[in-house]
Chain A
Amino acid sequence: MNIQLHTLSEVTGFNGRPGHFTVTVQKHPRYIDMDKCIACGLCAEKCPKKVPDEFNMGLNKRKAAYIKYGQAVPLKYVIDGQACIYLTRGKCRACEKFCPTGAINFEDKGETVQLQVGSVILAPGYKPFDPTGWDFYGYGQISDVVTSLEYERLLSAGGPHMGHLVRPSDETEPRSVAWIQCVGSRNTNNCDNGYCSSVCCMYAIKQTLITAEHAGAHSIQQTVFYMDMRSPGKEFERYYENAKTRGIRFLRSRPHTILPGPGGNGVCMRYVTEDGAVHDENFDMAVLSVGLAPAPESRQLAATFGIDLDPYGFAQSANLSPVNSSRAGVFVTGAFQAPKAIPRSVTQASAAAAAAAEALHAVRGTLTRRKSYPVEINVHGQAPRIGVFVCSCGINIAGVVDVKAVAEHARTLPHVVLVENNLFTCSVDTQDQIAARVREHQLNRIVIAACTPRTHEPLFQDTLREAGLNGYLIEMANIRNQNSWVHQREPAAATAKAKDQVRMAVAKAALADPLETLTVQVDPKALVIGGGVAGLTAALGLAEQGYATVLLEKSAQLGGNARRIAFTAKGEAVQPWLEHLVAQVRNHPAIEVLTEARMKTAQGSVGHFVSDIDVNGHVRTIHYGAAVLATGAAESCPNEYLYGQDERVLTQLALDRRFDTDPDAFAGDGSIAFIQCVGSRDAQRPYCSRICCTHTMRSAIALRERHPHINVYVLFRDIRTYGKREALYQRARELGVVFIRYTRDRKPHVTADADSLSVACTDPILQMPLVLKVDHLVLAAAIEPNATEELVSIYKCGINADGFLNEAHPKLRPVDLAVDGLFVCGMANYPQPIEESLAQAQAAVARACVLLSQQEMQLDAIKSMVTDRCDGCALCLDVCPYRAIRLVEAVGQNGSTTRRVATDPALCKGCGLCAATCPKGGIFVQGFTPDQLRAQVTAALQVVNE
């Protein structure tokens, strides 16, 4: 109700100042009335014009009247004005003839609208790199060379072959597939994309694993040609290692030519392995792992909004304010800002929402709309009077299912007092009609036989509430999506099924009870745990949005790891910024800072938590509605390469400390070596610490720039300067930093004598052993999470095998913890650089504000309910995934003690695992009671028993 979608629109004008912008939007014609379109697809079926389907990368055809894909939002058809025969040549109008709702409007001219807004978020995304013209890869000439996005569509169940993997040339199943990484990324030779696209290594691994699943009994040989495998995200390294154990071949090589394969099918690839040998190998298919490039239209958009782009064409933003564009009040997010995968994009989107909302918090709620309803009629104890409405959905249902026969059948069912058949039950006039029938016939239960409750139940619940009935007195029979649409060639069987579906719905509705939506009072206060940059940013963000916030820090000082960092990857000075941030937090009237503080207990749930906090020996109690966990991580202490035994062996932070306090501290050195992955990507910590490669690049560059005479060596396994950080790797190479690769089974060996340290390794290019004499050795030590066991057991939230706090869902809810009301940000979640921690912190603020901004939180009524039959056996306690059930003891009047379980509705998600576990019907889920489910089963099987 409070989101307005403008589709097919582009921004043509922008002016004003933060809080008072005017945006001019050109809305292009859809030629289909969105209010009338029911997405039946008849227009597309009847449309005679076929054009390449851009969603499937042109691998198949779509019609001129189309939807982009099945899950499109809004699910409304559109006519492609460039392709439509009527719009281009003046004849046809077939769609108009067949559209059952009269939604086609060829007179649609589009319109220009002006929007008054306070903040703007730009998220135009990216374009996949187009390798057309790269003749050495044969793309566009050899049909079995496809881009990774084309391959993605070939693998997809919604793709041109419905997920059956065949190669384009002869539509046979490939027996061997090869991927080439970094096509259009990390390349300043054939294109100007010097950055790493961040996502291609992981999607290539994903494609190999999915391909293996498709292969079934036949195995498909799969090879990935790469420069560095970059899997620096949470659980990514495990995924990569798993692919290796599954037989995927990873070859460090960049094939320089793809030629047509034997007989014109497949490809022949020529490549050189590290030993210098040249190989010619045939593959049935080649996949080019194309990078993420800025969309050409983004340049125009940036010009319209007057914001700066970086040299690549991505939006310019500072690492210390990751979602702010160069213009105040305009925020940027997603791959428009830098290439990034879904979890970071979603996180950044929430961060941008927080930034945009912070600027407007003073006027929050002034333009939002809320609906009001009449007082509910009490139907409790009334005998069911069921009204059944059977929808024809134009001909979508009626074209297959005999709706009249279904309606006739409904009339014979118990408790049914009214049956109607509507052309479109969801139309506005039918909604009014239903409300009128409720009043005329004193209906107290409604069955709608139409489409799916997943999209339409809220609409009908609303109708019931407007008619004064409880919204839960409705039941839907899905006779469209799960009947007429999937049984188009079996009308008789479909009609029989529809009758069964209606009978099942009626049986369930007869047992429906009005349910009360629960409301939880929200304590509009927040708690932030951890005083590093993530915690500080979260606390400041929450306070700026108007919520009293307590910041809890276990040490005596705020700032965390950032106190030891001089510069961001973009070279911004961290210390002055941090000092300002700490001062803002310390001086903010809405923030209370508790240092040397530890959480002791936490009670309650989302909206109203209570905790005891130990502050330097004194315990105090605080109340809050939401909490942000930002407990951080730290550089680990290495246990190899003579660390701790020889003072010339340093960690990265120790090097920084000496170099930052005295830039000439190493002036006397002749050589310095760095070893990467010290304690990362090994058996003990099978994850990549994400930030060390970039950190080493910065240090190596600073050393070479300051002291060109020092030889700098970097011993690495894969360089993982993802995204725009790749420019640092390039700069380091230009400055003459020597990179030597090692493998996990052939690690460098370090010995010391009085003059120098000796680092023995093998040079993979020369294929020769090498001993480097260096004056200092710098270890890129793994980042390990700070201890969270106590917090985890207090809040009952989860950590992964490496000890990092787990988000509820990496893509859908990347900063929520599985426990409602708790959020995570910063390195407590995973090692990450400042800009990513800040974005996560802002995202956590946005997510927490969704909660805190409601005085009362409405909860769905589908919750577990304890009955008299519960005897407190507590079997359900262990199975509840949300820990919503606890055991309570009560002393009866005769002094006997009874045990019962009790559920917390704020925690319960209504999954019903408790109900399925209970041996005696002591607990069930409202709206899905055992009686209701049994009634449905009986109704469904009635035909068998007749």
Chain B
Amino acid sequence: MSSTFEPVILGFLCNWCAYAGGDLAGVSRLQYPTNMRAVRVMCSGMVHPDLVIDAFGQGADGVIIMG
């Protein structure tokens, strides 16, 4: 068994801020772990609570909503 736990994190990123920030992190070559999978949304307010429950139900270790 692996000794290090690698969580699977689902991210909902607002197109106008967090997603743009993610892009800028790329341009700036800021390095960060690979654990998050990003879903682009038009506003963090768009994320329905059901979607978060859904993500946990399907095995996500964490959900991050950035906006």
A607 to chain B, nearest CB (A): 22
> Is A381's beta carbon under 8 Å from chain B?
no
Residue of B nearest to A71 (CB): B24
Residue interface mask B14-50, A partner, CB < 8 A = 1? 0100011011111111111010011111110111111
Q: Once the chains are docked, how many angstroms separate the CA of A41 from the CA of B40?
A: 26
With an 8 A cutoff between CB atoms, is B64 at the interface?
A: no
Q: How far is the CB of A664 from chain B (nearest CB, A)?
A: 62
Contact A500 B23 (CB under 8 A): no
What's the tally of chain A residues with a CB closer than 8 Å to chain B? 50
How many A-B contacts at CB < 8 Å in the complex? Answer: 123
Report whether B34 and A490 are in contact in the complex, using a CB–CB cutoff of 8 Å.
yes
**Does B66 touch A at the CB level, under 8 Å?**
no
Whether, in the assembled complex, A618 has its beta carbon less than 8 Å from a beta carbon of chain B, the answer is no
Write the A480-502 contact mask toward B (1 if CB under 8 angstroms, else 0): 11110111111001101100110
Contacts of B22 in A (CB 8 A): 478, 481-482
CB neighbours (8 Å) of A911 from chain B are: 42-43, 45-46
Q: Is B58 interfacial (CB 8 A cutoff)?
A: yes
The answer to whether B1 has its CB under 8 Å from any CB of chain A is no
Interface of A is mostly: helix
Q: Is the CB of B42 within 8 A of A481?
A: no
Residues of A within 8 A of B27 (CB): 39, 70-71, 75, 481, 485
Q: Are A913 and B8 in contact (CB under 8 A)?
A: no
Please, which residues of chain B bring their CB within 8 A of the CB of A930?
Answer: 48, 50-51
Is the pair B38, A478 in contact by a Cβ cutoff of 8 Å?
Answer: yes
Residues of the B chain whose Cβ atoms lie less than 8 Å from the Cβ of A944 = 8, 58-60
A943 within 8 A of B: yes
Contact A452-B49, Cβ < 8 Å, known A488-B29, A912-B43, A937-B10: no
- Contact with A916, one of B28, B32, B47, B58 (Cβ below 8 angstroms): B47
Q: Are A941 and B43 in contact, CB atoms less than 8 angstroms apart?
A: no
Q: Is the CB of B40 within 8 A of A453?
A: yes
Q: Which residues of B lie under 8 Å from residue A497 when comparing CB positions?
A: 34, 37
A923 shortest CB reach to chain B, Å: 11
Residues of A close to B20: CB separation below 8 A:
454
A945 within 8 A of B: yes
Is there an interface contact between B28 and A933, defined as CB atoms closer than 8 Å? no
**Also in contact, A941 and B25, with CB within 8 A (given A454-B15, A497-B34):** no
Q: How large is the interface on B (under 10, 10 to 19, 20 to 34, 35 or more residues)?
A: 35 or more
A207: Cβ under 8 A from any B Cβ:
no
In contact, A486 and B31 (Cβ under 8 angstroms): yes
Per the bound structure, the CA–CA distance linking A915 and B48 in Å amounts to: 7
**Chain A residues with CB below 8 A from B8, complex form:** 941, 943-944
In contact, A945 and B59 (Cβ under 8 angstroms): yes
Taking a contact as CB atoms under 8 Å apart, the answer to whether B59 and A496 are in contact is no
Nearest chain-A residue to B9 (Cβ)? A940
The reply to whether A452 and B55 form a contact with Cβ atoms under 8 Å apart is: no
**Are B58 and A937 in touch, CB under 8 angstroms?**
yes
By the criterion CB–CB under 8 Å, are B58 and A945 in contact?
yes
User: Chain A 819-856, CB within 8 Å of chain B: the 1/0 string?
Assistant: 00000000000000000000000000000000000000
User: Which residue of B is nearest A944, CB measured?
Assistant: B59
Measured CB to CB, the closest approach of chain B to A164, in angstroms, equals: 13
Determine whether the beta carbon of B31 is less than 8 Å from that of A487: yes
Residue among A487, A504, A941 with max Cβ neighbours from chain B (10 Å): A941
Complex-state Cα separation, A463 to B54, whole angstroms: 35
Interface centre among A480, A504, A934, A937 (most CB of B within 10 A): A937
Bound Cα distance A936, B54 (Å): 11
> Quick one: which of B10, B26, B42 contacts A928, CB cutoff 8 A?
B42
Contacts of B45 in A (CB 8 A): 879, 911-913, 916
Q: With a CB–CB cut-off of 8 A, which chain A residues contact B50?
A: 930
- A937 to chain B: which residues have CB within 8 Å? 10, 39, 51, 54-55, 58, 60
Minimal Cβ-Cβ distance residue in A for B13: A482
Report if A910 contacts B (CB, 8 A): yes
Residues of chain B with a CB closer than 8 A to A478's CB: 22-23, 38
The list of the 3 closest CB pairs from A to B, nearest first, reads A912-B46, A481-B26, A944-B59
Instruction: Kindly list 19 other residue pairs between chains A and B, CB separation below 8 angstroms, not including A452-B23, A944-B60.
Output: A70-B28, A75-B27, A455-B23, A481-B22, A482-B23, A483-B34, A485-B26, A486-B30, A488-B31, A489-B31, A862-B42, A913-B43, A913-B46, A916-B48, A930-B50, A933-B47, A937-B10, A940-B39, A943-B8
12 A-B pairs with C-beta separation under 8 A:
A452-B23, A453-B40, A454-B19, A481-B27, A486-B25, A497-B34, A910-B43, A911-B46, A928-B46, A930-B51, A934-B54, A944-B58
